[in-house]
Amino acid sequence: MALEICCKAAAGAPDILGDCPFSQRVLLSLEEKKIPYELRLIDVSNKPQWFLEVNPEGKVPVIKFEDKWIADSDIITQLLEEKFPEPPLCPPPEFASVGSKIFPSFVKFLKSKDPSDGTEQELLNALSDLEEHLKAHGPYINGDKVTAVDISLAPKLYHLEITLGHFKGWSIPEHFTHVKNYTKLLFSRESFEKTKAEKEHVVAGWAPKVNA
């Protein structure tokens, strides 16, 4: 039986998948594990009553496991790994936090209005760490096998690429050759193509935060 999953709908387009990187992370896990699922899109600016009843916090993504709705992409992906162990996506423990500084430093840099506040350098340092890891262990975080770390990083790198290009005219520097190759590999996977938000929806989703 297909699992039910609720994800964010695009702003102003309730039938189109929205720009939530955490929703995409869960969808990627489902796709990579070939788990059948039924996608329900939620207009987060006007959440339906049934959704708030099963999920009072109103957060997405949420997934229905054995008649219980479960939120939080960390918990959901862990559950999927336990219940559907094949193919395994668990990374080696020592690689579990690779790239974890990229998303917070990207958000800080994206929102920054002061070019000399160090946020760009913080992001470059985080990307440099990823570059060094991929140089030693690539092409994915754990060699040739895709793991949960790649699945978590893929949507975040996609958002980084689109929004920093759009709002700041910034792109990942060319000398990060392994990171560049890594993003190409991730974005070309069938699972990614199927679950990504369109660029204009990513831009629209971040615009209020950038202009705040």
Let me know: does 51 contact 42? Beta carbons within 8 Å: yes
Residue 175 pLDDT level (bands cut at 50, 70, 90): very high
Decide if pLDDT at 97 tops 90: yes
Q: What is the pLDDT of residue 157?
A: 98
Which CATH number is 3-83 given?
3.40.30.10
Q: How far apart are CA 9 and CA 106, in angstroms?
A: 23
Delimiting residues of CATH 3.40.30.10 domain(s) in the chain: 3-83
Nearest Cα neighbor of 166 from 131, 207, 132 is: 207
Which of 6, 7, 20, 90 is an active site residue?
20
Nearest Cα neighbor of 126 from 151, 92, 160, 168 is: 160
Delimiting residues of CATH 1.20.1050.10 domain(s) in the chain: 93-210
Q: Which CATH architecture has domain 93-210?
A: Up-down Bundle (1.20)
What percent of the chain is predicted at pLDDT more than 70?
100
Let me know: does 202 contact 163? Beta carbons within 8 Å: yes
Q: What is the pLDDT of residue 11?
A: 86
Active site residue 20: yes
For the chain, report the end-to-end CA distance as a whole number of angstroms.
Answer: 43
Q: What is the pLDDT of residue 206?
A: 95
Q: What is the pLDDT of residue 1?
A: 77
Decide if pLDDT at 126 tops 90: yes
